[in-house]
Amino acid sequence: MMEIMTCVREDIPVTAVVFHNRQWGAEKKNQVEFYNRRFVAGELENQSFAGIAKAMGSEGVVVDKLEDVGPALKEAIRKQMEERVTTVIEIMCTRELGDPFRRDALAKPTRYLDKYKDFV
């Protein structure tokens, strides 16, 4: 979010999209899969990213319906191009867990060099 403040201060108009699912989904998915559906510190109840953006002097838009995504994005880009306005679009998403970025993130490493064979 600090980049948004820089964009406002330096008059660099951008449109940023935040997909807000109120969790660290990739980390939570790894924990669920590797630790028998147990997880810790994956649930996030953050402040509104659109609200933070407004406090920094940019536009902030919360979208919670799929049909509003396109119009919000078009309006943000129009303001960016015509009015030099920075906008953060916060798209509220479900908490459905997708695949983790790395399936091997919590797996024990494979040691290929003998000098590391004792390190797990």
CATH number of the structural domain spanning residue 80: 3.40.50.970
Question: What is the pLDDT averaged over residues 106-120?
Answer: 76
**Enclosing domain of residue 25:** 2-116
Q: Yes or no: say if 86 and 80 are a contact pair by the CB < 8 Å rule.
A: yes
Task: Using the Cα atoms of residue 90, residue 11, residue 9 and residue 79 in order, give the sign of their dihedral.
Answer: negative
**Position 41 confidence tier, pLDDT thresholds 50, 70, 90:** low
Residue 37 has pLDDT above 90, yes or no: no
DSSP 101: S
SS3 91: strand
Q: Yes or no: say if 49 and 63 are a contact pair by the CB < 8 Å rule.
A: no
Interior CA angle at 44 toward 39 and 48, to 5°?
165
Helix (H) or strand (E) holding 84: none
- Res 31: pLDDT: 73
45-100 tens-digit pLDDT: 778 999 999 999 999 999 999 999 999 999 999 999 999 999 999 999 876 655 55
Q: How many domains does the chain have?
A: 1
pTM: 0.70
89-106 tens-digit pLDDT: 999 987 665 555 556 666
